[in-house]
Structures are given as C-alpha cells and as structure tokens.
C-alpha cells in the first residue's frame, strides 16, 4: 500500500517551485545551484530531492506549469460568453480583450516563471522542450482564433502573424515593466487592447498629467531588449 502524502506536500512543493523560479530568473538557470534553491526554499537539500530529482526536473516543472496555466486562461477567457443573438462581432472582440487582460494579470503574478520560460526553455531536453512548445502553440492558436473571429475578412494566413504581433506587445514586459512603477500590469493590459483594436488614437487608459513625468523617468529610461 502506497504511503499517503503529508497534508503539506503540495504547499511545500509549490514553495520550492516559486523559490526556484525566482532564483533562476535572478541568477540564471545555469548559474543557480540546488544548494541555493534549498536555501531559498527554506528546506534541506535532502527534502528538495524528495520532491525533485535534479535541477532539470525543477526547470521542467516551472515552465510546464506556467504554460499549462496560460493554456487554461486561453480556454476559459477565450470561450464564448453568454451573449445575446446578433452580437457575434461584439462578443468576439470582448473575448479577445478579456484574453489579453487575463494574460497580463497572469504575467503580473508569475514574472519569474515567465522570464524562466522565455529565457531558459532551451535548457530542457528534447522531449520536455517539445511538450512546452506544443503548449505554447496552442496558446498562440487560441489568440489567432480570437483574431479571426474579430476580423473574419482577414486572410487566414494573417491570423497567426497578427497573434504573434500581439504577443510581441505583452510577452517581454518583464524586461522593463517595474513592479514599483506608475503603470501596473492591469493598466498596460487596457493600453494593449486599445492599441491593438484602434491604434494610437484609441488609447484611453492614460495617467493623470501630474504623474506623466514619472513615467518617463521610471519606466521609459530602460528600453526593451532589442531596442537598446
């Protein structure tokens, strides 16, 4: 008969994963050690090995769990809401707007996990990397389907590129959006959907004029990677 798990098993496992994600995001996957993970988690190395066989297993769990969460959001927020008949176009736009906002909220709660996914997935073995990439493709497909529903007049081959352009606006925010800055992830989510659907003139999620200078000084000084 299998030995039952302790009531705190899942909580301690989650604690280790969060500490490892923060450490990998800060130090880099290759530089971080299991001794550091154990120390940051507040557990012994023996306890760490009780949950994860090696550092690779930690990385795989961090990125696969994060992608699974994003897949769940895409399935939930991208699903058809209870809209009255005749409002198909408006419902499609509402779904895509909700999807973008939910993703930005998810990124706010998992900045370390998203950085690890973006920067360290290359260190996974072929099997694990393939599974993660398949999950990412499903997320992109959900966005592409949302765009297709909003703009059925677009050629089909444009749906995925448009989805990738949209991801380009939100996926790398962890490189420049500061937690203590004047813009929150929720603020930026509103700006992204306004910009995507209506262009620059449509952006309405602005800041009070008195706070505008601090935006330039605190968040616009460091451009995203690739624009430096």
Segment 22-49, tens digit of pLDDT: 999 999 999 999 999 999 999 999 999 9
Give the model's confidence band at 131: pLDDT under 50 very low, under 70 low, under 90 confident, else very high.
very high
pTM for the predicted model, two decimal places:
0.81
Which tokens sit at 179? 């937690």
DSSP string, 75-116: HHHTS-----TT-HHHHHHHHHHHHHHHHHHHHHH-HHHHHH
**Dihedral sign, Cα of residue 102, residue 104, residue 108, residue 109:** positive
pLDDT digits (tens, 9 = 90+) for 140-170: 999 999 999 999 999 999 999 999 999 999 9
d(CA 52, CA 9): 12
The pLDDT value recorded for residue 6 is: 57
pLDDT digits (tens, 9 = 90+) for 81-95: 444 444 577 899 999
Which tokens sit at 65? 């769990």
d(CA 219, CA 204): 19
Give the model's confidence band at 204: pLDDT under 50 very low, under 70 low, under 90 confident, else very high.
confident
Nearest to 21 by CA among 109, 112, 108: 112
CB neighbour burial string for 189-202, b if at least 16 within 10 angstroms, e if fewer:
bbbbbbbbeeeeee
Q: Which has the higher per-residue pLDDT, 221 or 128?
A: 128
What mean pLDDT comes out for the span 115-140?
Answer: 96
- Residue-range domains of the chain with CATH: 83-113+127-218 (1.10.357.10)
Give the model's confidence band at 101: pLDDT under 50 very low, under 70 low, under 90 confident, else very high.
very high
Q: What is the mean pLDDT of the chain?
A: 85
d(CA 222, CA 201): 25
- Specify the 3-state DSSP secondary structure of 183: coil
Q: How far is CA 218 from the centre of its chain?
A: 23
List the single range of 3-7, 115-119, 204-208 with lowest mean pLDDT. Answer: 3-7
List the single range of 6-10, 38-42, 50-54, 183-187 with lowest mean pLDDT. Answer: 6-10
Which tokens sit at 169? 């606006």
């Amino acid at each position: 008969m299998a030995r039952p798990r302790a009531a705190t098993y899942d909580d301690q496992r989650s604690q280790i994963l969060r500490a490892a994600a923060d450490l990998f995001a800060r130090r880099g996957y290759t530089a971080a050690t299991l001794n550091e993970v154990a120390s940051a988690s507040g557990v012994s190395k023996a306890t760490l090995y009780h949950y994860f066989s090696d550092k690779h297993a930690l990385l795989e769990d961090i990125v696969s769990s994060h992608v699974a969460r994003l897949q769940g959001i895409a399935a939930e927020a991208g699903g058809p809401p209870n809209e009255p008949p005749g409002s198909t176009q408006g419902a499609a736009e509402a779904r895509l707007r909700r999807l973008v906002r939910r993703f930005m909220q998810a990124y706010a709660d998992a900045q370390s996990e998203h950085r690890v996914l973006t920067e360290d997935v290359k260190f996974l073995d072929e099997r694990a990397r393939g599974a993660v990439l398949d999950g990412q493709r499903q997320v992109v497909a959900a966005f592409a389907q949302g765009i297709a529903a909003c703009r059925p007049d677009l050629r089909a081959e444009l749906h995925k590129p448009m989805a990738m352009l949209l991801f380009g606006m939100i996926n790398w925010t962890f490189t420049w959006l500061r937690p203590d800055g004047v813009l929150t992830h929720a603020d930026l989510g509103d700006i992204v959907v306004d910009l995507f659907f209506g262009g620059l003139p449509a952006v309405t999620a602005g800041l009070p004029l008195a706070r505008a200078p601090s935006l330039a000084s605190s968040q616009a000084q460091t451009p995203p990677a690739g624009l430096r």
